[in-house]
Structure 1
Amino acid sequence: MHTSPPPSDATPESGPPPVRLGALVPLTRPGWTEAGRQLLAGLELGVDEVNAGGGIGGRPLELLVRDTAADPARAEAAVEELAGLGVAAVAGEYHSVVARAAAVRAETLGVPFLCSSAVLDALTDQPARWVARIAPAQSYGWRIYADFLLAQGHRRVAVARQASLYWESGTRILREQLAAQGGSVVELDAGALTPGELRDALAEDGATALLLLAGTPEPAVPLVRAVRADRRLDGVLIGAPAGQPELPGWLAGLGAEGAGVPFLRYLPERPGPSAVRVGEALRARLGEEPSFVAYEGWDAVAVLAEALRTHGTGRADVVRAWEGGAVAGTRGEIRFSRVAGTGVWQWAWPPVQVADRDLAEPGRFRVLHQG
């Protein structure tokens, strides 16, 4: 587990005690470590900038990072540990099932949890007081993706799906949205079938689009290769609504074969001055192009820092910020409200794009549809 040492209390020589924030990030496998690295860069940049501006009433922010490794049990244990270390709030997490476990535990313990990047609609079964989210609910973004498919003329869509509550939820959203316009979805089991078997099943079915509801690099990368190599499937669109093609590992694993695969990302059509500035800083920190996940991390810190400055550093003070006010984030004004089906305080909504890597220049992104 990636940990930071427990901070000590202040001494006369060391200055005022820090305000502690916890961070949940997937930094080791089977977590999607590329996304975790981006998320952590955004969180750390946000904390560094707050501290460069004087901290919270003269007190520095201190980030205690815990690696969830895409494991819900580790996330629950991390929330308990961080609560014991006196954090004012916990932020982060990318994987939806992990974020759900963290949200439930945080609500039970009375620890503010600001989910930056997980989208599963129901983070808690009951309305939560202590949990808020910056990322859009899955049903919001994936319905936009389904509308994009319909606008492109795709009425028969296949999904290569692994077993997961997140993938199952995504399949249901796509099926409902397509069915409303006369479309249909066929499911192919990415956990039981080889890439060759999936390719053959797709050719027999006649679907015009295949969506990768599966992890990367396995089994998504070999499946893309199998489909691209089969002349029977030349006209089939490959899509990845969960965003796998955005990060550099996709391009490294597939090269030009990974271009032209539409995915969801949560960025505005035109970045404002704040997004440009933060993007430059993230680019320097990461040594690569920042994804929307890095911006989500920065935005999460911006929200919590404003809550701490405005309302106080107690946990009950932080959650008062969910109920009113707005914070200028990199992707728009962040304001929380109650949204049916989520159980949490929700930003409704971040900007949503459907984008892909340019076929002529795979290192460049194209925006295909704006939600």
Structure 2
Amino acid sequence: MPFARLFLRFVFTWALVAGLAHGGYAAAPVRLGAINPLTGKLANHGQEILSGIEVAVDEINEGGGLAGRPVQLVSRDDQSQPETAVNQAQDLIYRKKVTGLTGGYVDSLVGPISQLALKARIPYVASASLQKDLTLEGKNPFFFRISHLDGVTEPLCRFLPEAMPGKKAAILHAATPGATEFSQVLFQCLRRAGVELPLVEKFRPGTPDFAPFLLKMRSLHADVLISAGFFPDHLILVRQIREQNMPLTAYVGPWGIGYPEFIQQMGSAAENLLGMSAWHPDFPYPGTEEASRRFSETFRAKYGRDPTSTVMHGYTAAKVLLEAMRTVIQQGAPLDGPHIADALRAMDATLPLGRVQFDAKGDPRHYRQVVVQIQNGRLVPVYPADRAQGTWIPMSGPTN
């Protein structure tokens, strides 16, 4: 055999062996696009979602990829701005040619991306989305989401009337689409349950002073506050409540309270505050204890900190999208938007976040959060009864 041919065969064989030694990939990578608020007012949440996505991608690649095809994560920062989210989505879809999209926090950012995904006919699995209009009448067959508004409001609508009969409640919500809709749905269901609601107000995220609202609460003798704001809003509001010695029976913050960072920053002022959580290392979904433990260990080894519920939302969104892609590849079908969307609609998986199954509109069928309370510096699930690890404690009222 001529030397030139022998040399070429050697080079080819060496390249094949080298490829196998570095993960066994001989096929083109699958590009997964992720868009999150990595800077701006929502940066903390966006960074947590991205870290969960990264763990899901690592997990797939360390297991041999998608039928031998490595996953390439292409991440973009929407800067907490809807216009930027649209620009980044266009870049991922039309320039980077991603096969699917994931990530996202708050519907003002998720909504515009979902419309671009529809136009391009590629699947988008959102990590954190609540607004019901986004899946209204199933008009977007390429949009799926891990969370849903009912999974937050339904537990609260049962817990508050049961735990606090005869109390007056006030609702304060951020002027965002998801928070506004949350407030409206919660108001309606609590009123049907007989809860008196003399005060409902909205505020702009980043508001530095809640004193006027607290004055109204005091004058109306409302002793339960449901605050649908975000992490930094709770920091300001809770400090002002403590400074003004507000006589509250309960403070409920569905977003932002149930995080170790909040407890660290607030210290003793965080005691007995109530929040919501879809997942936590200490109280995973029943039957997934071992999977949650492995996930938490992997996350701590990679990032040097404990994972949060937001991290798990990012992981779950990426995981189900990648598993749907795997199904399409194994079936020998084209790896395109319609086939991946069909695989997502047929999915029924149990992950640390819980059972994941989508309805015809792309909403999760089984998503439910638990009510948690900060007790002695740690999060304790207090509702519903089958997930509770303790009973809820009323706030002590005025403090010195």
TM-score scaled to structure 2, two decimals? 0.81
Alignment match, 2:322: 305
Whichever residue aligns with residue 238 of structure 1, its letter is Y
Corresponding position: 1:57 with 2:67:
yes
Cα deviation code 1:204-235 (max 9, x no counterpart): 11112112222331x3322211112333x233
Q: Is the 8 A contact 1:93 1:116 kept in 2?
A: yes
Alignment match, 1:3: none
Alignment match, 2:7: none
Alignment match, 2:392: none
Alignment match, 2:117: 106
Q: Is the 8 A contact 1:133 1:345 kept in 2?
A: yes
Aligned length: 348
Which of 218, 237, 240 is equivalent to 1:223? 237
Corresponding position: 1:184 with 2:199:
no
Q: Is the 8 A contact 2:135 2:362 kept in 1?
A: no
Alignment match, 1:5: none
Cα deviation code 1:217-268 (max 9, x no counterpart): 1x3322211112333x233311101x21123442243112123221111134
Whichever residue aligns with residue 152 of structure 1, its letter is A
SS of aligned partner of 1:328:
strand
SS of aligned partner of 2:72:
strand
Shift of 1:180: 0.6
Which of 87, 92, 98 is equivalent to 1:87? 98
Whichever residue aligns with residue 342 of structure 2, its letter is R
Cα deviation code 1:15-37 (max 9, x no counterpart): 53210000111111122x22222
Whichever residue aligns with residue 148 of structure 1, its letter is F
Which of 211, 217, 228 is equivalent to 1:196? 211
Alignment match, 2:349: 327
Whichever residue aligns with residue 72 of structure 1, its letter is P
Which of 180, 185, 188 is equivalent to 1:168? 180
Shift of 1:124: 4.2
Whichever residue aligns with residue 372 of structure 2, its letter is A
Q: Percent identity?
A: 22
Alignment match, 2:247: 234
With over 3 angstroms needed to count, the CA separation of the structure-2 counterparts of 1:101 and 1:126, relative to structure 1, is farther
Whichever residue aligns with residue 104 of structure 2, its letter is E
Could you list the structure 1 runs, at least 4 aligned residues long, displaced by more than 6 angstroms after superposition.
11-14
Whichever residue aligns with residue 355 of structure 1, its letter is V
Cα deviation code 1:13-65 (max 9, x no counterpart): 8753210000111111122x222222111100110110011101211101111
Which stretch shows the higher mean deviation, 265-274 or 113-122?
265-274
Shift of 1:297: 1.8
With over 3 angstroms needed to count, the CA separation of the structure-2 counterparts of 1:184 and 1:109, relative to structure 1, is farther
With over 3 angstroms needed to count, the CA separation of the structure-2 counterparts of 1:70 and 1:124, relative to structure 1, is farther
Corresponding position: 1:28 with 2:39:
yes
Q: Is the 8 A contact 1:143 1:173 kept in 2?
A: no
Distance 2:160 2:185 in 1: 13
Distance 1:305 1:194 in 2: 44
Distance 1:288 1:100 in 2: 31
Shift of 1:132: 1.0
Alignment match, 2:394: none
Corresponding position: 1:279 with 2:279:
no
Distance 2:112 2:135 in 1: 9
With over 3 angstroms needed to count, the CA separation of the structure-2 counterparts of 1:318 and 1:160, relative to structure 1, is same
Corresponding position: 1:266 with 2:300:
no
SS of aligned partner of 2:359:
strand
Q: Is the 8 A contact 2:125 2:318 kept in 1?
A: no
SS of aligned partner of 1:64:
strand
Alignment match, 1:4: none
Q: Is the 8 A contact 1:157 1:211 kept in 2?
A: yes
Cα deviation code 1:67-123 (max 9, x no counterpart): 122222222222211111111100111212211121122112212101122222222
Shift of 1:308: 1.4
Q: Which has the larger radius of gyration?
A: 2
Q: Is the 8 A contact 1:306 1:327 kept in 2?
A: no
Cα deviation code 1:293-318 (max 9, x no counterpart): 21122222221222112113222221
Distance 1:329 1:70 in 2: 28
Alignment match, 2:86: 76
Corresponding position: 1:214 with 2:241:
no
Alignment match, 1:345: 362
Shift of 1:198: 2.2
Alignment match, 1:118: 129
Whichever residue aligns with residue 253 of structure 1, its letter is Q
Which stretch shows the higher mean deviation, 12-21 or 22-31?
12-21
With over 3 angstroms needed to count, the CA separation of the structure-2 counterparts of 1:345 and 1:80, relative to structure 1, is same
Distance 1:193 1:199 in 2: 13
SS of aligned partner of 2:263:
helix
Q: Is the 8 A contact 1:228 1:234 kept in 2?
A: no
Which stretch shows the higher mean deviation, 183-192 or 152-161?
183-192
Alignment match, 2:258: 246
Q: Is the 8 A contact 1:46 1:302 kept in 2?
A: yes
Distance 2:372 2:303 in 1: 22
Distance 2:144 2:249 in 1: 39
Distance 1:193 1:292 in 2: 27
Q: Is the 8 A contact 2:208 2:236 kept in 1?
A: no
